[in-house]
């Protein structure tokens, strides 16, 4: 198997009991392996920034993992994260608005947050998370039922909304939902958005083989707590 470029991986620790010592270990490992970023919870952004300096990026999550904070709460979190030194934001929009048949509300939220984040720092990398497990099973491309059809429509609406918002990435799954990213997810979303729209996969990525399969399907980046072992597979 071909080697994996460490820059494709965001090494993440989003555990609820992550300590400062855990984040120090995470950041040391990011620098050792050359991963794209250290991805941490908002409370640890400033610490991670101080540890990696300019040698790696720092990422954090906003309204994670549910996405049902108010827009103003999300804006406050975006502002604080940027002020504390975050380079990349993985934001959870309100996926429930898609299930309610209100994709225009979903899109407006994505647009508002992208515009706001870029007004604070033009170079900030913005990703919005579609929790695909809320809409479709892991393997769905060959399934045809009314429920699958509705789920596909909701994913189409979400993908187009995120692309229209001007965000940098569609992120598939939080890693805290019903399931993680699947090859079917990436394959399907690739048919919806332009080639220039980047896709990040997360949730349940444990092996090099998984990364290669998702790359082949069209993903560009991966968030995982297993980044070192994936690279160590050789």
Q: Enter the tokens of residue 102.
A: 């209100």
Q: What's the length of the chain?
A: 234
Output the six-digit token pair for 27: 């950041």
Out of 10, 90, 94, 184, the active site residue is: 90
Asked if 208 is an active-site residue, the reply is: no
Selected catalytic residue, list 171, 184, 185, 208: 171
Instruction: Write out the two tokens for 42.
Output: 């908002």
200 catalytically annotated? yes
**Which long-range contacts link 112-118 to residues 24+ away (Cβ below 8 Å)?**
112/71, 112/75, 113/62, 113/71, 113/74, 113/75, 113/78, 113/165, 114/165, 114/166, 114/167, 115/166, 116/75, 116/78, 117/78, 117/82, 117/89, 118/166
From 57, 74, 127, 200, active-site residue: 200
Pull the structure tokens for residue 62: 């906003």
Look up 90 and say whether it is catalytic: yes
Helix (H) or strand (E) holding 22: helix 20-33
Taking the alpha carbons at both ends of the chain, their separation in whole angstroms is 8
CA distance 227 to 173: 17
Handedness of CA 20, 21, 24, 26 (dihedral sign): negative
Catalytic residues: 90, 171, 200
């Amino acid at each position: 198997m071909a080697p994996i470029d460490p820059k494709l991986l965001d090494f993440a620790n989003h555990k609820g009991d992550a300590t400062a010592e855990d984040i120090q270990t995470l950041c040391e490992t990011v620098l050792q392996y050359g991963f794209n970023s250290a991805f941490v919870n908002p409370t640890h952004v400033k610490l991670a920034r101080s540890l990696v300096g300019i040698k790696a990026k720092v990422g954090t999550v906003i309204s994670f993992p549910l996405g049902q904070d108010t827009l103003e709460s999300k804006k406050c979190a975006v502002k604080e994260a940027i002020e504390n030194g975050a380079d990349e934001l993985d934001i959870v929009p309100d996926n429930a608005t898609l299930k309610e048949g209100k994709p225009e509300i979903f899109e407006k939220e994505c647009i508002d947050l992208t515009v706001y984040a870029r007004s604070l720092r033009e170079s900030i990398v913005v990703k919005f998370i579609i929790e695909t497990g809320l809409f479709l099973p892991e393997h769905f491309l060959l399934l045809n039922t009314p429920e699958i059809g509705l789920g596909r429509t909701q994913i189409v609406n979400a993908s187009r909304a995120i692309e229209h918002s001007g965000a940098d990435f569609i992120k598939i799954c939080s890693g805290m939902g019903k399931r993680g990213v699947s090859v079917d997810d990436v394959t399907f979303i690739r048919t919806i958005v332009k080639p220039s729209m980047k896709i990040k996969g997360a949730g349940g990525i444990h092996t090099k083989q998984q990364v290669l399969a998702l790359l082949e399907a069209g993903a560009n980046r991966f968030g995982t707590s297993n980044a070192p072992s994936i690279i160590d597979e050789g």
